[in-house]
Amino acid sequence: MAVLQLLKERILKDAKTFPGNILKVDSFLNHQIDVDFLCEIGKEFKKRFSGCTVTKILTIESSGIGIACVAAQFFKCPVLFAKKTKTKNISSDVYQTKVASYTHGTSYDVVVSKEFLTVGDSVLIIDDFLANGQALLGLIDLANQAGATVAGCGIVIEKSFQTGAELIKKTGIKLESLAKIKSLDDGVIFV
């Protein structure tokens, strides 16, 4: 079965909804990881960004890392993940930005080393979910600080009824979401 259809079916079958428009896909993406399935997702990202130069995949810890690592095998490039930090004294060796967390309702700082993100890079940003776009905007900010190019953003599950997709489209950056959730009203998943 085609990966997009499979993803849709797994969301409908396995995902659980929580208050605050949160969807949990712990059985295959966010806790237990179905690596074979992620492989198909990685291939799909490669197909969607086939015309793009990608020197690095950029993601954010923690749930983006597994997806990014599997996808990177098809792009033949390294993965760089923005690390969450609690340190107040941010070193001059890192680029830093603030991200509002959708699931925790707080803000946190994330950093990447200047050594690993440079002006010559063309990054593909990958994450598990797109809600209000704050994680992607933070990653785009880090790339901009480094003078790197953003080749595009690849998302496994976009919640299209939230503001993120519009915000990213406004930046002019190519956005590819493999599944789009139209609504989660009353806990009913409408893909």
* Interface ranges with ligand 5GP (CB under 6 A): 22-24, 30, 60, 63, 102-103, 127-135, 164
Q: Could you give the 3-state DSSP secondary structure of residue 71?
A: helix
Considering the complex, state which of residue 115 and residue 186 has its C-beta at the smaller distance from ligand 5GP: 186
Minimum distance, C-beta of residue 102 to ligand 5GP, in the bound complex (Å): 4
Using the 8-state DSSP alphabet, how is residue 124 labeled?
E
Minimum distance, C-beta of residue 48 to ligand 5GP, in the bound complex (Å): 19
Separation CA 181–CA 159 (nearest Å): 5
Minimum distance, C-beta of residue 95 to ligand 5GP, in the bound complex (Å): 18
Separation CA 149–CA 121 (nearest Å): 6
Cis before 91 (ω within 30): no
Considering the complex, state which of residue 68 and residue 148 has its C-beta at the smaller distance from ligand 5GP: 68
Considering the complex, state which of residue 31 and residue 120 has its C-beta at the smaller distance from ligand 5GP: 31
Cβ atoms of 74 and 46 within 8 Å: the answer is: yes
